[in-house]
């Protein structure tokens, strides 16, 4: 069963495996685009896999709603910032439903539960002498909600902009509270060394280490020039810097500072913060420093995935190259989009997507391989095996080799998932589908009608492979996998890795059903 809990008895108590995954907390200055969809789908993939593997999963997403960019966007529309946030945040909440995400919580930084946590954290940092009042002068990007050093900006035709993000920056001078980030330079480097898997992939870790080694300057963590944000405790003239505010969502959603709360006790530290590479610095430098200063455990891993590109450029509103995931879903369906993004984008790297490659993927992998295999073996079994899983069977070596592959590979699959090797996982499924189709073709059951036991065994073996592959595809294309499992009268509660681990097979004589076409081929001759 999905969510079937694997339990270990330790000293008389039942220990349940826990997994806490978070998406980036999305900044709702405009409606969601394909980059947001990608991060969410990947997070959902991990959440579903872990549930399938018996874990109790906490899956958090949400919206980051404070800062100057939000205030200016609201002013342009002549509406209250909170009303603006209410409207845009709802589009992200709606996207979660559209993407069929299994998130257990959706947090907004305008919620009272979050505000209380942020102000408590501020007081803890101040109490520990990690925050002080001074004056700030420097380059600030409203678009990035980030401060940049002189060597991080460039001048293009008289316009100053960030070298990394290409966003415009402006010079700011004002009174500000500072976080003693410089104090945590060595502790951070020590932590990275002692926890080599804390930042992934390896290239991102190297970037972070290089940045920290170059020298950390104290970080401005408040603003006076605008009012849309959480007030600094005991000083209403200042609002808390949006990134100190936003990052705290990961623990405010677990009811911190109530460390005895079941959510916090069970799920912190987070198993993985899944983010885009452009916000790696905030999650892998600033956030760990805040936590160290507040004496809170650090998350186990921060993974900075690549960008979804459109025409070799990162999607952005300003560039006008945003791909609308809703439009793609309306035309091709949700599961094809989920499969395509997971398969075609090498996880950790940038991925350039196109309609043509999406259509090729639907036709080759989903329609021809998976869908066709399900249809062929089911139709054959209904016609030749009395619409039942065959009873009289006798395995030979070539049957057992292909069947045992799943049990024998499971430990490696788990290890790969724990190391976020999605590429291995999807390759395993693709190769399995190829082998299954080849097995059915090579065995030619339609030529074995004078050998009922052999015919039955081939059908049984192929049906069992369909079941196992459908289970493994569930985290990627959940609804299509469940549609395939209707062949066996199985539902979501039946999807688990335990049956693969125990090498369990389909019950002989159980009824099988005809199913509708899972994926329609795209006729690429039609516009």
How confident is the prediction along the chain (527 residues), in pLDDT tens digits per residue? Answer: 333 333 344 334 456 799 999 999 998 777 788 989 999 999 999 999 999 999 999 999 999 999 888 898 899 999 999 999 999 899 999 999 999 999 999 999 999 999 999 999 999 999 999 999 999 877 888 777 777 888 888 988 888 898 877 888 888 888 999 999 999 999 999 999 999 999 999 999 999 999 999 999 999 999 998 899 999 999 999 999 989 999 999 999 999 999 999 999 999 999 999 999 999 999 999 999 999 999 999 999 999 999 888 655 544 444 554 578 999 999 999 999 999 999 988 898 888 888 888 999 999 999 999 999 999 999 999 999 999 999 999 999 999 999 999 999 999 999 999 999 999 999 999 999 999 999 999 999 999 999 999 999 999 999 999 999 999 999 999 999 999 999 999 999 999 999 999 999 999 999 999 999 999 999 876 54
- Contact, 482 vs 443, CB < 8 A? no
Nearest alpha carbon to residue 343 among 40, 41, 24, 32 = 41
Count Cβ atoms below 10 Å from residue 489 Cβ, excluding itself: 11
CB hemisphere CA count around 376 (13 angstroms): 20
Query: Left, alpha or beta for 155 (phi > 0: left; psi -120 to 50: alpha)?
Result: beta
Alpha helical stretches, state H, 262-318 = 262-267, 280-281, 287-293
Residues 6+ apart with CB under 8 A from 299: 250, 269, 270, 271, 272, 273, 287
Instruction: Domains for the chain: give ranges and CATH numbers.
Output: 355-501 (1.10.730.10)
Report angle CA 235, 281, 59 to the nearest 5 degrees.
Answer: 85
Torsion 412-413-419-423 (CA) sign: positive
Buried-exposed string 467-481: b where 16+ CB fall within 10 A, e elsewhere:
bbbbbbbbbbbbebb
Phi, psi of 135, rounded to the nearest 5 degrees = -125, 145
pTM strictly above 0.75 = yes
């Amino acid at each position: 069963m999905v969510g079937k809990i694997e339990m270990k008895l330790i000293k008389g108590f039942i220990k349940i495996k826990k997994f806490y995954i978070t998406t980036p907390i999305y900044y709702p200055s405009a409606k969601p685009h394909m980059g947001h969809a990608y991060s969410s789908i990947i997070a959902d993939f991990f959440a579903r896999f872990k549930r399938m593997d018996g874990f109790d999963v906490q899956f958090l997403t949400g919206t980051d709603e404070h800062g100057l960019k939000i205030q200016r966007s609201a002013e342009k529309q002549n509406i209250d910032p909170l009303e603006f946030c209410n409207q845009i945040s709802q589009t992200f909440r709606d996207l979660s439903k559209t993407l069929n995400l299994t998130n257990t919580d959706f947090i907004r930084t305008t919620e009272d539960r979050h505000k209380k946590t942020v102000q408590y954290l501020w007081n803890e940092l101040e109490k520990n002498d990690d925050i002080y009042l001074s004056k700030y002068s420097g380059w600030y990007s409203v678009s990035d909600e980030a401060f940049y050093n002189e060597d991080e900006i460039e001048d293009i035709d008289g316009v100053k902009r960030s070298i990394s993000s290409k966003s415009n920056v402006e010079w700011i001078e004002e009174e500000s509270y500072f976080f003693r980030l410089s104090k945590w330079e060595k502790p951070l480097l020590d932590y990275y060394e002692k926890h080599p898997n804390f930042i992934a992939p390896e290239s991102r870790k190297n970037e972070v280490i290089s940045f920290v080694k170059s020298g950390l300057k104290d970080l401005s963590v408040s603003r006076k020039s605008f009012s849309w944000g959480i007030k600094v405790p005991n000083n209403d003239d200042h609002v808390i810097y949006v990134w100190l505010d936003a990052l705290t969502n990961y623990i405010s959603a677990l009811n911190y500072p109530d460390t005895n709360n079941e959510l916090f006790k069970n799920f912190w530290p987070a198993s993985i913060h899944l983010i885009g590479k452009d916000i790696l610095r905030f999650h892998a430098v600033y956030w760990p420093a805040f936590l160290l200063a507040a004496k809170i455990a650090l998350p186990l891993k921060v993974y900075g995935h690549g960008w979804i590109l459109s025409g070799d450029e990162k999607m952005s509103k300003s560039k006008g190259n945003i791909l609308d995931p809703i439009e793609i879903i309306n035309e091709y369906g949700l599961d094809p989009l989920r499969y395509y993004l997971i398969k075609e984008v090498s996880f950790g790297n940038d991925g350039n997507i196109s309609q043509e490659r999406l259509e090729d993927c639907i036709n080759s992998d989903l329609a021809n391989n998976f869908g066709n295999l399900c249809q062929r073996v089911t139709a054959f079994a209904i016609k030749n095996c009395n619409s039942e899983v065959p009873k009289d069977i006798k395995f030979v070596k070539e049957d057992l080799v292909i069947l045992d592959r799943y049990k024998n590979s499971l430990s490696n699959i788990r290890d790969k998932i724990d190391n976020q090797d999605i590429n291995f996982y999807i390759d395993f499924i693709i190769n399995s589908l190829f082998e299954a189709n080849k097995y059915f073709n090579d065995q030619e059951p339609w030529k074995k009608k004078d050998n009922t036991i052999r015919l039955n065994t081939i059908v049984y073996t192929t049906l069992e492979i369909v079941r196992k592959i459908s289970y493994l595809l569930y985290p990627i294309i959940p609804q299509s996998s469940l549609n395939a499992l209707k062949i066996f009268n199985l539902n979501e509660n039946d999807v688990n890795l335990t049956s693969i681990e125990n090498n369990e097979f389909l019950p002989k004589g159980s009824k099988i059903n005809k199913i509708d076409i899972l994926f329609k081929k795209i006729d690429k001759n039609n516009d």
